[in-house]
Structure 1
Amino acid sequence: MSYYVVVGAGPVGRETARLLAEEGHSVVLTSRNTGMIEARAVRTISADATNAVQLAEISKGAEAIFMCAMAAYDRWPTDFFPIMDGTVKAAEETDAKIVVLGNLYGYGESATSPLSPLAPLNPTSRKGTVRGIMWERAARSKVPAIEVRASDYLGNGAITYFSLLALPSLLKKETVSFPGSLDAIHAWSFTKDTAKTLVSAAHYTGEWNRAFHVPSQYASIRELTEKFAAALEFETPKLRELTTEELQAVGFHEGVEMRYLFDNPLVVDASDTEQLLGVTASSLEIMIQETLLDHK
């Protein structure tokens, strides 16, 4: 049995802690507000990951620290770096490995599809630049590091463009408006599959300082909306593409910055994850059912 620390009590962090405890490990889940988690073997400690001294004290004896914390979407350039820095310093102080929960933003708009975890990062957005710098900070640390990169989430508690922009209108049987192409194929990562990938990556016996992609399912916004409507036993609502001008008019600058992810096909190569970590993607139907748990 090993000891692990999970930083960040969002849906992925909480599921990661639960899976580790299920394996019989000693686990601490920490964030500024941990709340409650349904797993007897998981201890929760309220702590600020930017405080490296405090996090190092919590992490004494840990095999690995999972960095699953999330910063406010519009504050990534200011809020994410102190969290990453505190995590790395705590890991170096305690000689713990680092497993980072990341995403695909760092590859940039010009990346070749399907995205390979071995491809160099070449961000073309502020958020992608932030993610790239965060990974470089972990990869250059004195301890081994792995980054698990997910696409847009589906799952219970997931907060993504689809859950924020499409799902509320769908639930009200109103026209669904979404930024980007409605018909471009897009990768969807299940929160529980992401946690499985994080846990499996922590046990990886190969060479670290590398990335793994979360195995995902694929559907365009139109197809995904149709499947959600079917699961709800609704008629599929009308769909329309939100223009850049409309996003700018309402001040949704993050949507303007990142809409390239939906304007073009987004396909990820997760073959390494499947072959080396033994993780495969859950069905899209299961992802949809879990996403709707909070809405039925």
Structure 2
Amino acid sequence: MSAYVVVGAGPVGVETARLLGDAGHDVIITSRGVNSENRTNVRSVRADATDPEAFTQICKGADAIFMCAMAAYDRWPTDFFLIVDGVTRTAENVGAKLIILGNLYGYGSNPEGLLRPDQPLDPSSRKGTVRTIMWQRALRASVPAIEVRASDYLGQGAVTYFSLLALPSLLASKPVTFLGDLDAKHAWSFTKDVARTLVAAAGYAGAWDRAFHVPSQHISPRELILRAAAFLGQEPPALGTYSYAQMEEFGMHELVEMSYLFERPLLLDASDTESLLGVKAQEIDVMIADTIEERRR
């Protein structure tokens, strides 16, 4: 059995730690405000990953460190580099492999067709630039690294565009206003599939310093919203989209920058993950049920 450290106690970090612990590994999950209950083989530790000297003491003996921490959305340029640099230096200090939880922002707004994990990053936003630099810094480390890239989340605890913009209105049986082209196919990543991909990546026997995509389901925002309404036993809601002016007016400044993600199809090639890591995407209705049931409790 191996020893692992998971940085970040969000839904993906917690599920990753659970899967590793259930497999018999020794796991430490850390964040600045850990409040997770300890599970089998999993120990929660309050820690600051931006302090590599102190964090190294926690991570001694780790075979791999999973960087699943998240910075506040409006503070990515100031906070994320401190986190990834601290985690990377710690991994070098203890000789642990590095597994980064990433996303698709680094590909920018220009690519068409299926996004492949081996295609060059070409960010067109501040957040995409941050993600690209984070991965570049990990690649420069003296330890092997893998980045697992997910699209917009569905699942328990997911805080993404669907859970912020569509789900509250659906739960209140009100009209739904969303972003972009409601009929453009979009990749949706299940938080539990993200965790399964991270865990599988840790055991990858091929060459590291590469990326994997999380196997995802592709449906349009309209279809996702209608399926969610059907799951709730509701009639199809009236649907609309925010204009840029409305997003600015309502204080949704951070969404304006990334709205291009929903203005045309966002399609993900995860065939490498399926063939090399053995992970496949859960059905979309399972993702929807997992997303909604927690909010209904």
Question: TM-score when scaled to structure 2?
Answer: 0.98
Greater CA deviation, 107-116 or 37-46? 37-46
Structure 1 runs (4+) deviating above 6 angstroms are none
Indicate if the aligned counterparts of 2:38 and 2:44 stay in contact, CA closer than 8 A: no
Matched, 1:140 2:140: yes
What residue number does 2:70 align with? 70
SS of 2:114's partner is coil
Greater CA deviation, 241-250 or 19-28? 241-250
Identity of aligned residues (%): 60
Separation of aligned partners in 2, 1:37 and 1:264: 41
Q: Structure 2 matches for 1:1-296, cutoff 5 A?
A: 1-37=1-37, 39-296=39-296
Separation of aligned partners in 1, 2:21 and 2:88: 23
After superposition, the C-alpha distances for 1:73-95 in whole angstroms (9 at most, x for unaligned) are 01100010000000000000000
Indicate if the aligned counterparts of 2:158 and 2:291 stay in contact, CA closer than 8 A: yes
Post-superposition offset of 1:236: 1.2
Indicate if the aligned counterparts of 1:193 and 1:215 stay in contact, CA closer than 8 A: yes
Letter in 1 for 2:123: P
Post-superposition offset of 1:55: 1.4
Indicate if the aligned counterparts of 2:9 and 2:36 stay in contact, CA closer than 8 A: no
After superposition, the C-alpha distances for 1:231-279 in whole angstroms (9 at most, x for unaligned) are 1101111000111111111221211100000001000000000000000
Question: TM-score when scaled to structure 1?
Answer: 0.99
Greater CA deviation, 248-257 or 80-89? 248-257
Structure 1: gaps of 5 or more residues: none
Separation of aligned partners in 1, 2:239 and 2:112: 28
Separation of aligned partners in 2, 1:52 and 1:232: 46
Equivalent residues, number: 296
Structure 2: gaps of 5 or more residues: none
Indicate if the aligned counterparts of 1:50 and 1:83 stay in contact, CA closer than 8 A: yes
After superposition, the C-alpha distances for 1:111-165 in whole angstroms (9 at most, x for unaligned) are 2320000000000000000000000010110000000000000000000001001
Root-mean-square deviation over aligned CA pairs: 0.8
Indicate if the aligned counterparts of 2:101 and 2:148 stay in contact, CA closer than 8 A: yes
Separation of aligned partners in 1, 2:253 and 2:226: 28
After superposition, the C-alpha distances for 1:206-247 in whole angstroms (9 at most, x for unaligned) are 000000000000111110011001111011110001111111
Indicate if the aligned counterparts of 1:14 and 1:37 stay in contact, CA closer than 8 A: no
Indicate if the aligned counterparts of 1:179 and 1:244 stay in contact, CA closer than 8 A: no
Separation of aligned partners in 2, 1:205 and 1:86: 26
SS of 2:267's partner is coil
